Copies of this chain bind each other. A is one copy, B any other.
Amino acid sequence: MEQQDRSYKDKKVITIGTVSELTGLTLRQIRYYEERKLIAPYRNERGTRKYSFNDIEILMDIADKREDGVQTTEILKEMRLKEKKRESEAAVKKKMLQGQLNAQFRYGRGKI
């Protein structure tokens, strides 16, 4: 169920006009942030951009930062930093699980 809802959040199905309404950004701004690699909408056969709810969240984040005068280059760096952070946290979590698994395996073998 959670996995299911997650797929909704990431599904790229929203047109740029709707995104504009939802974020308050102009079409020009939204396209420009794509040019600066801040977002990556899906393109259908004829080149029409489609965004996900997650993209919308990112755009609202960008809007906030732009209002604070942060340049797109800086925003991009920040986003990459956060990505790194998430990755390293995931790595730590994986390591912990691996440790538990190993311990479990040792005990399990002892009993057999």
Q: Which residue among A9, A11, A13, A50 has the maximum number of chain B CB atoms within 10 Å of its CB?
A: A13
Give residues 1-53 of A contacting B (CB, 8 Å): 2, 5-6, 8-9, 11, 13-15, 18, 22, 50, 53
Shortest Cβ distance from A19 into B: residue: B13
Q: Which of B5, B15, B18 contacts A8 (CB 8 A)?
A: B5
Q: How many copies of this chain sit in the oligomeric assembly? A: 2
Number of interface residues of A (CB under 8 A): 13
Enumerate chain B residues within 8 angstroms of A2, measured Cβ to Cβ: 2, 5
Enumerate chain B residues within 8 angstroms of A6, measured Cβ to Cβ: 5
Q: Which residues from chain A sit less than 8 Å from chain B, CB to CB?
A: 2, 5-6, 8-9, 11, 13-15, 18, 22, 50, 53
